[in-house]
Amino acid sequence: MLIIVWELVYKIGVEVLGIWKPYTFPSPFSVIQTLIGLIADNTLGIAIIASLKRIIVGYLISLIIGVVIGLTIVRFKYLDENFSALILGLQTLPSICWLPFAILWYGLNESAIIFVIAVGSTFAISIAIESGIKNVNPLYVRAAKTMGANGLKIYWNVIIPASLPSVVSGMKQGWSFAWRALMAGEMLSATKGLGQVLMVGRDLADISQVMAVMVVIIVLGLVVDKLVFGRAEISIRHRWGLDRT
């Protein structure tokens, strides 16, 4: 249905009314043809592999750092009072703002892109960890204390498991920020990757190639959400009895 609506808008806006030019608003069939061409000459396959390698490494780094920061801030009240606002402020910065630092520190290489990806998603994950733990029902903690739990046992056996639904949501958000950071890095400094293919389409005024890369990014995001985050979320909700009946 979406493809049909897209084609109708193209026919009316480009061919009938002349509101847009063909090079500014592509037909879905031209996008499909471009996709087939990119797949046939292996350009798309090489770009996807290169981008996935970068985003997986950068995201795993951000996941580790974000979890550590989130748990540390929640554990120590002084850090919570003085650094929570700073982390929220850093999260509002667009990922591309970190690119000059990455180039100065690492040069135009893989490390610079991975740095941008890690910084771009770290703070979203740490904020999700902090928010998830703070919003755990206090009744769980009181019940654990009445049964003799204290200290790390409460955190490990009660607070952290109860905060997992919010944590998974934060991980999904961090994944989306990681993709944005990846595109920002690849569009400016990468020799291979989806961002580079996107930039080639822009430089050649090939809007079909730009749209084709956007479609690929959307599909990859949906696949990862379905196979990784979706399954984790369903498992956690089932374990905690949060399934809708």
Give the pLDDT confidence of 199-230 residue by residue, as tens digits.
888 888 888 889 999 999 989 988 888 888 87
Q: Which domains does the chain have, with CATH numbers?
A: 30-239 (1.10.3720.10)
- Amino acid in position 73: I
CA distance 98 to 113: 10
Rounded average pLDDT over 42-47? 88
pLDDT greater than 90 at residue 57:
yes
What global pTM score does this model have?
0.82
* HSE-CB for 177 with a 13 A CA cutoff: 30
CA distance 187 to 95: 12
Residues in the chain: 245
* CB burial string 158-187: b at 16+ within 10 A, e below: bbbbbbbbbbbebbbbbbebbbbbbbbbbb
* pLDDT the model gives residue 141: 76
* pLDDT the model gives residue 9: 86
* pLDDT the model gives residue 244: 57
172's tokens: 């999904």
188's tokens: 């400016």
Rounded average pLDDT over 50-57? 91
Q: CA torsion angle for 25, 28, 29, 31 (degrees, to 10)?
A: 70
CA distance 44 to 116: 23
Is the Cβ–Cβ distance between 177 and 119 less than 8 Å? Answer: no
* pLDDT the model gives residue 184: 82
**Segment 135-140 long-range contacts (CB within 8 Å, at least 24 positions apart):** 135/163, 135/166, 136/162, 136/163, 137/162
In the predicted model, what is the mean pLDDT of the chain? 83
150's tokens: 């204290």
Report residue 240's pLDDT band, with 50, 70 and 90 as the boundaries: low
* pLDDT the model gives residue 243: 60
Greatest mean pLDDT range, 145-149, 152-156, 200-204: 200-204
Percent of the chain with pLDDT over 90: 7
Rounded average pLDDT over 178-186? 86
